[in-house]
Structure 1
């Protein structure tokens, strides 16, 4: 077992050395520090994050709405299942409300950070 672990360590080390040689990477101390500029200005980044968050919230809210509807259809008059479906409907409503409020909240954050 010890020989197998040593063999794995040697194999991984050789693989890393070969990959470093093939990619032509220089030692870390030889590289000069670079100042990287952001590819997009802050308002563009925040608008993209807003669109992503709103899309995610609407998708999850729609999932909860679908689950609530299916539970209501399959309840068959069972009060516990109807309560579970009502809970799913409330979660869907909360998700849609957050999706509507997300752009407003992110605009407030953008105002704080000076974008």
Structure 2
């Protein structure tokens, strides 16, 4: 038992020594500039792209789920109706993704920036 303990302690000491000796000195670099600040139109523009991406991704998920349900329905009318509902949700999602730039433009005009 003590032989195993000596091997474990020796391995830990050697590994720690190698890690400490292999790492070089840490030198401080120049200070990083502060993060960029954005004005409101830039924030709205970034928000528009995020909304388009998220809504498009969710719509694609619904389209995939609807397709899998339709393929796995095996003629079951209730499962086919669920698949059609998923297809309808995907269509609404894609429509919203296409309308997001228009909605963000309306938001920008309301904020008047």
Runs of 4+ in 1 over 4 A off after TM superposition: none
Give the 5 Å matches for 1:1-115.
39-115=37-113
- Gap runs ≥5 in structure 1: 1-37
- Gap runs ≥5 in structure 2: 1-35
Give the CA RMSD over aligned residues: 1.0
TM-score (norm 1): 0.66
Q: Per-residue displacement from partner, 1:19-41 (whole Å, max 9, x unpaired)?
A: xxxxxxxxxxxxxxxxxxx8111
TM-score (norm 2): 0.67
Cα displacement (A) at 1:108? 0.5
Cα displacement (A) at 1:102? 0.7
- The number of aligned residues is 78
Cα displacement (A) at 1:53? 0.3
CA distance in 2, matches of 1:74, 1:112: 47
* Structure with greater Cα Rg: 2
Q: Per-residue displacement from partner, 1:64-113 (whole Å, max 9, x unpaired)?
A: 00000000010000000000000000000000000000110110011011
